[in-house]
């Protein structure tokens, strides 16, 4: 019997498996998908996420497949915008989610003490004396079996079987967003740049990838996208028309993959621990991809969960798993507040234009905000480069 079962082999699950294995824990890591897998994502890692990959000794493998992002261009409406640099020595990375996941899961699967079960789907939880003690899984060859471990971790994303089976998931009724994503054959306007476009109650994110394509995500209120009822291309065209600069640039660009849909997005878990286990990554809560922190938060959760799990196993006191709740909330509370503040600004075009215009006139403030959003201060300790306006 393994020490830990991790359900879900995305960034949170794979990073946690790798971290636990390096402390001598035995881990069963399982996922219903086969890798590499495609998944709607912004395909962006902020500087803090890159630093966390450095700690796991996998940043080199990720960089080999990624494109460097040194600055962010933000445009509101037509002609109003600014470009801000990350601090010197810090940078983000643009990499397809399928490739990032493949790197992380390969590293985890190769680690001593990790058994990786690919294409094995968790269907239910196993309980004993009021606590979770494992999972029931559907095997690749058919049939169902039980896997047992002292600790079970739900790292299985927004649709987490673990979190839903425990009744922990709550939808955010105030922030109902959906996303459409597609890839185009499109070169960046400036090297090392990613872009954000703001429009009334919507925004677009463009990340340019190493293979010469661009990943474009459009995010808007749920009712605007859901009304398409499967006719996603119509919704795509209507939303894209709100971003005239971006729409013109895409004129004639060739699609490089299918369109994908995600949402409604915002949800949270009532708590991130339970008797016999923890929730990490999106299984513990997901709000909005605007700040590009999804993968970063997943890696951060894995980093925080590992020592708590090791301590609980060493002491035999599984009640110590509750420590993760306190550590996680303290570490992520500021980010969630920032996300909500930024969403309040985005919802008002007048407020968005005023903020973007002000930051265009204050390059140091723009650079400081970008460093804060990307948590770049913990990635390096160096002064920020000066930002420059890109609008009129």
The residue among 262, 284, 319 that closes a domain is 262
Q: Answer yes or no: is 165 within a domain.
A: yes
Q: Answer yes or no: is 376 within a domain.
A: no
Residues 6 or more apart whose Cβ sits within 8 Å of residue 110: none
What count of Cα atoms within 13 Å lies in the side-chain half-sphere of residue 127?
A: 9
Provide the CATH number for the domain around residue 101. 3.50.50.60
Same domain, 301 and 333: yes
Q: Answer yes or no: is 61 within a domain.
A: no
Same domain, 272 and 333: yes
Q: How far apart are CA 262 and CA 312, in angstroms?
A: 36
Q: Answer yes or no: is 245 within a domain.
A: yes
- φ, ψ for residue 389, nearest 5 deg: -70, 150
The residue among 262, 288, 318 that closes a domain is 262
Same domain, 165 and 304: yes
Provide the CATH number for the domain around residue 231. 3.30.9.100
Same domain, 100 and 18: yes
Handedness of CA 78, 79, 80, 84 (dihedral sign): positive
Cα–Cα distances in angstroms (integers) from residue 112 to residues 54, 108, 180, in the given order: 19, 9, 39
pLDDT in tens, the chain (392 residues): 899 999 999 999 999 999 999 999 999 999 999 999 988 888 999 999 999 999 999 999 999 999 999 999 999 976 789 999 999 889 999 999 999 999 999 999 999 999 999 999 999 999 999 999 999 999 878 889 999 999 999 999 988 999 999 999 877 666 678 889 999 999 888 899 999 999 888 899 999 999 999 999 999 888 777 665 667 788 888 899 999 989 999 988 998 888 888 877 667 888 999 999 999 999 998 766 666 678 998 999 999 999 999 999 999 888 899 999 999 988 887 777 777 788 778 778 888 889 999 999 999 999 998 988 887 766 654 333 333 434 42
How far the first Cα of the chain sits from its last, in Å, is 64
Residue span of the structural domain in which 160 resides: 4-43+96-172+267-343
Same domain, 237 and 166: no
Q: Answer yes or no: is 161 within a domain.
A: yes
Q: How far apart are CA 72 and CA 70, in angstroms?
A: 7
Handedness of CA 67, 71, 73, 74 (dihedral sign): positive
Structural domain tally of the chain? 2
Q: Answer yes or no: is 135 within a domain.
A: yes
Same domain, 134 and 164: yes
């Amino acid at each position: 019997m393994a020490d830990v079962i991790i359900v879900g082999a995305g960034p949170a699950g794979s990073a946690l498996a790798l971290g636990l294995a390096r402390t001598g824990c035995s881990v069963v890591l399982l996922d219903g998908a086969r890798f590499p897998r495609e998944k709607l994502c912004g395909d962006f890692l902020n500087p803090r996420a890159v630093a966390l990959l450095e700690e796991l000794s996998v940043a080199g493998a990720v960089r080999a497949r990624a494109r460097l992002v040194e600055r962010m261009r933000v445009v509101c409406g037509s002609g109003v915008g600014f470009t801000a640099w990350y601090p010197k020595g810090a940078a983000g990375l643009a990499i397809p989610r399928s490739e990032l996941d493949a790197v992380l899961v390969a590293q985890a699967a190769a680690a001593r003490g990790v058994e990786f079960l690919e294409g094995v789907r968790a269907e239910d939880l196993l309980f004993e004396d009021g606590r979770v003690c494992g999972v029931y899984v559907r095997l690749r060859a058919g049939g169902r079996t039980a896997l047992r471990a002292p600790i079970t971790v739900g790292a299985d994303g927004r649709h987490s079987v673990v979190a839903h089976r425990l009744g922990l998931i709550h939808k955010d009724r105030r922030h109902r967003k959906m996303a459409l994503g597609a890839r185009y054959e499109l070169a960046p306007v400036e090297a090392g740049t990613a872009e954000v476009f703001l429009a009334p109650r919507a925004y677009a994110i463009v990340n340019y990838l190493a293979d010469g394509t661009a990943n474009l995500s459009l995010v808007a209120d749920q009712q605007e996208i859901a009304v398409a009822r499967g006719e996603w291309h119509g919704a795509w065209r209507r939303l894209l028309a709100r971003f005239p600069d971006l729409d013109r640039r895409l004129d004639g660009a060739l699609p490089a993959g299918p369109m994908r849909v995600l949402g409604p997005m915002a949800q949270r878990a009532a708590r991130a621990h339970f008797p016999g286990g923890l929730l990490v990554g999106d299984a513990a809560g997901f709000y909005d991809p605007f700040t590009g922190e999804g993968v970063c938060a997943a890696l951060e959760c894995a980093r925080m969960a590992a020592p708590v799990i090791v301590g609980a196993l060493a002491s035999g006191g599984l009640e110590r798993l509750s420590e993760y709740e306190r550590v996680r909330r303290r570490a992520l509370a500021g980010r969630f507040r920032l996300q909500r503040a930024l969403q309040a600004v985005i919802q008002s075009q007048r407020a968005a234009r005023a903020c973007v215009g002000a930051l265009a006139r204050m390059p140091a403030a723009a650079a400081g905000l970008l460093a804060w959003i990307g948590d770049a201060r913990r990635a390096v300790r160096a002064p920020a480069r000066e930002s420059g306006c890109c609008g009129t």
